[in-house]
Structure 1
Amino acid sequence: MTVKSVKTVFDIQQVLKGFGTIIYTGNRLADLELMEEELRELFQTKLIDVKVFQQALLLLKSEQEKEKRKNN
């Protein structure tokens, strides 16, 4: 699967969906953390390239921080 860039959480969901992974727990923070774990596995097994991985990771970390601030 070739992905050029990841700009939104939806883009990350589409990347994961391309590998048969759909994440929805009903808890946004938990979803973001699970997406991060899945992306790390895909990267470690060389199924996604470093650019996509880095973009997705930065986006997920940013979204996780927003969610944590919102919940506090």
Structure 2
Amino acid sequence: METLYDVQQLFKQFGIYIYVGARIYDIELMMIELKNIYEGHLIDRDTYLHARSILQREHRIEESRATEKGTE
């Protein structure tokens, strides 16, 4: 698992499809759902931590894009 797409495929295994419309909101909702499936013991700790780190990285990227757009 290396990309946001890979995390989406993880959710797909559980029948979870997330699309809010804004990528940053999608990522935030994915973080919530990831925590829920981990706390429900559906994934192991390593998978959870790896997926969470990917989501955090993607969230930082989206925040920086939003900041760049605001300064143009």
TM-score by length of 1: 0.89
State the 4+ residue runs in structure 1 displaced beyond 6 angstroms.
Answer: none
Which residue is 2:24 aligned to?
29
- Count of aligned residue pairs for this structure pair: 67
For 1:53 and 1:27, how far apart are their aligned partners in 2? 23
Unaligned runs of at least 5 residues, structure 2: 68-72
What is the aligned-residue identity percentage?
A: 36
TM-score by length of 2: 0.89
Structure 1 residue 25, shift from structure 2 partner: 1.2
Structure richer in helix, relative to its length: 2
For 1:7 and 1:55, how far apart are their aligned partners in 2? 9
For 2:58 and 2:4, how far apart are their aligned partners in 1? 8
Which residue is 2:35 aligned to?
40
